[in-house]
Amino acid sequence: MKNLQFFGMGALCALVLSCSGNQSGGDPGQGGGNFLTGTFVAPDGQTPIAGATVWIPGSGPSPVLSSLSSDCESPPESYRVFACTGPDGTFRLNIQGISGAVTLKLKKGAFMQTLNIDLNSGGSDLGQITLGQDPSTGAPKMAVVTGNYDRMQDVLAKLGFGEIDSFGNLRLGTERFDLYDGNSSLDPSYPDFDTIFNDGDGDSKPDINNYDIVFINCGTNYEFLLSDSSKVQILREYVQNGGRLYVTDLSYDFVEQVFPEFIDFYLSDSTPEADPETMNEAQQGSGSITTEADIKDNMMKEWLKIVSCVDTMDNPVDCVNPSTGKVDIEGFLPGWAVMNGSHPSKASEVKIWVEGPVEFGYPIDSGIKPLTASFPFGSGKVLFTSYHTEAANITGLLPQERILQYLVFF
């Protein structure tokens, strides 16, 4: 994985006091004195980045700890002070005893930003800090594999990593990530999915290793690659070495066939945990259903209460139903991939983000099933979601798209 740091706001501001923007939440005086505040947002300039780690690197006899919260990861290096952004993207660093020129770092998942600031004038509010979007300036390098039934590329574009047209679809050519053709939907200028397993740049490694995150949309035409043990090993090593793999719905075998020991998919009950289950067998979900899903992560739920959502007619709606505290997820594809949960031996490693009552099987059964799950592997992570983006030709974001958007930063 490449270094994901880039210099942004600090290059434009000689002093902290010359930077302005929205005051972060909390008491009215928190932007001055011994505190450094700000609001971290996505490249669209609007979507808050929740649960990010914010810190000033360095060491000293007694580091100042602004936060011992479990709402974000600890800094990946020694630090003088750190804090977590809240659901609204705001942070508050206690900089008592720190002065002069310092480096401020903000990190969430594979996304990171670095600012150079001057604290000689004491604390201040940095205002809005917008995450960069271009890999050439240090943003994460992402690859998206197209599919027949899902469009994660549109979710990324709405997050600011591209432009959308009047129907809410990515305007091809504006994407700040690499598109791979997984379903014969792109023109020949875009590479086919299988080429990502080749060494096209001559660095003696499969090209997938050039990416920090790889998204595989539901319904690719390339599941045959999973019968090649060398391709399976490439995917496994990619994540082990720090890559992030994000898979939706019918493409679930890119999780099950590569990392079988983690998630227990529906059926194949006699298959040992460490062995891949029968391909496509878990595709037993009933189609055209809507579920009121529980959000199992508190930070995500609070974030969903802040951001905006729309319904399938592009009308504004609450992302979280205020009367039930649940999220409506709709448009399940017939035969969607059903999860039972984690395998017992990996229960402590698999995180369930979303679950809800659904129908599945033949004859039809029903019950509460995990709908989004993730797990670490080596230095990387894998995320799978049973639902997907719904092609509704809308410029806003459905609640389920907002969930997927939040998890881009997992």
- pLDDT mean over 384-392: 83
At residue 66, the pLDDT reads 54
Pairing of strands 263-265, 111-118: unpaired
CA 32 to chain CA mean position, Å: 33
Pairing of strands 213-216, 142-145: parallel
- pLDDT mean over 303-312: 94
Domain at 9-131, CATH from 3.40.309.10, 2.60.40.10, 1.10.3720.10, 1.20.58.110: 2.60.40.10
- Tell which residue, 294, 285, 288, has the closest CA to residue 330: 288
**Average pLDDT of the chain?**
88
Cα separation of 171 and 173, whole Å?
6
- What confidence tens digit (pLDDT) does each residue in 120-138 have? 766 689 999 999 998 776 6
Whether the Cβ atoms of residue 167 and residue 158 lie closer than 8 Å to each other: no
Cα separation of 331 and 288, whole Å?
5
Which H or E run includes 318? Answer: none
At residue 405, the pLDDT reads 94
Give percent helix, percent strand, percent coil of the chain, each to the nearest 5.
20, 30, 50
Our CA angle for 298, 301, 302, nearest 5°, is 85
pTM value?
A: 0.89
At residue 13, the pLDDT reads 34
**Complete DSSP assignment for 160-198:** IIS-B-TTS-B-TT--SSEEEBSSS-S-TTSPBGGGGGS
Please tell me whether residue 214 adopts helix, strand or coil conformation: strand
At residue 8, the pLDDT reads 38
Cα separation of 301 and 296, whole Å?
8
- Tell which residue, 182, 152, 225, has the closest CA to residue 408: 152
Please tell me whether residue 241 adopts helix, strand or coil conformation: coil
- What confidence tens digit (pLDDT) does each residue in 79-100 have? 999 999 999 999 999 888 888 8
Q: How many residues does the chain have?
A: 410
Please tell me whether residue 101 adopts helix, strand or coil conformation: strand
- pLDDT mean over 172-188: 97
Cα separation of 99 and 119, whole Å?
5
Which CATH code for domain 141-407? 3.40.50.880
Write down the domain spans for the chain: 9-131, 141-407
Distances (CA, A) of 93 to 31, 60, 285: 10, 17, 47
User: Lowest-confidence range among 53-67, 79-93, 118-132, 207-221?
Assistant: 53-67
